[in-house]
Amino acid sequence: MLQTDSTQAAALAGKVAVNLERLRWEPAADSAYLVANIANQTLQVVRGSSVVSTHRIVVGKPETPTPELASRVHYFQTAPEWRVPASIATGEMLPRLRRNPGYLSENNLRLYDLAGKPVDARKVKWSTVSADRFPYQIRQAAGEENALGGIVFRFANAHDVFLHDTPARKAFAQPQRLLSHGCIRLQRPADLAAFLLQRDGGNDAAERISRMQNSVESSTPKVFSLRTSMAILIRYQTCEVEGSQIRVLPDVYGRDAAIAAALAGSANGQLVAAAQ
């Protein structure tokens, strides 16, 4: 029993060391910020030392993982149009179009050429179109079926990921939510939008919140710029503290081992150097 306990303690110590190293890499936190943890698929709104709200999120599948990053939310859009990324258009939709040229119209999607002119997908000879030569763009207009839902929060990053609503809200009831292509789907996005507008201050906060809600309900696209941007941190923490307890989370992308090995190598190197 003592050996088992010591083994478990050593494993926990290693897990804590890996995650403390991750925290060491992060930029200093603002007084208020958004923090999404990929490992437990939640996003928290933090102000000072308090958690204002917690939202479940859907993150990337292991084959299309959500990246770790730090950025700032400068604006959000309501009733957004979805411009389908080329990887999804060629990797997932092109095979379906070859089988069924009506696939786009059946799913509230529209085809455009690269100049932005509408194209009738039923008249395209899809057997001659390849992923390497795909001279089209696929878009989905705002509405209840739109893949981005009613709100999308934008922040600069090299991975072209963002935070957005979704019509597939049943996914938030699942314990593991690794379902996306890398972007983050957010539970209760209107609550976050209202918080950002209220935080932005000004005599027009209530009016802006009302406009935001009306825009979503009417599927009328609008952009809401923030006077004060909000820091966002997307992290990968496989353990966290709850009260006085350490909670171990699943290593859903298998990222812990590389950091543990690097830490072990660094420690061994220091020991060797000290012995010389």
What are the φ/ψ torsions at residue 96 (nearest 5 degrees)?
-70, -35
Asked if residue 273 has pLDDT above 80, the reply is no
Q: What is the pLDDT of residues 155-204, one digit of tens each?
A: 999 999 999 999 999 999 999 999 999 999 999 999 999 999 999 988 89
Written as one string, the DSSP assignment of 191-244 is HHHHHHHHHH-STTHHHHHHHHHHHHHHT--EEEEEEEEEEEEEE--SEEEETT
Determine the pLDDT at residue 268: 53
Alpha carbons 196 and 92: distance in angstroms, whole number: 35
Determine the pLDDT at residue 1: 42
Asked if residue 234 has pLDDT above 70, the reply is yes
Q: What is the pLDDT of residues 8-52, one digit of tens each?
A: 777 788 999 999 999 999 998 889 999 999 999 999 999 998 999
Report the DSSP pairing between strands 222-235 and 69-78. antiparallel
Report the DSSP pairing between strands 163-164 and 184-186. parallel
Determine the pLDDT at residue 49: 87
Alpha carbons 224 and 196: distance in angstroms, whole number: 10
Asked if residue 4 has pLDDT above 50, the reply is yes
Alpha carbons 230 and 10: distance in angstroms, whole number: 38
Angle at 248 between CA 244 and CA 254, to 5 degrees: 155
**Residues with catalytic annotation?**
164, 183
pLDDT band at 151 (very low <50, low <70, confident <90, very high): very high
Closest Cα partner for 151 from 209, 72, 88?
A: 209
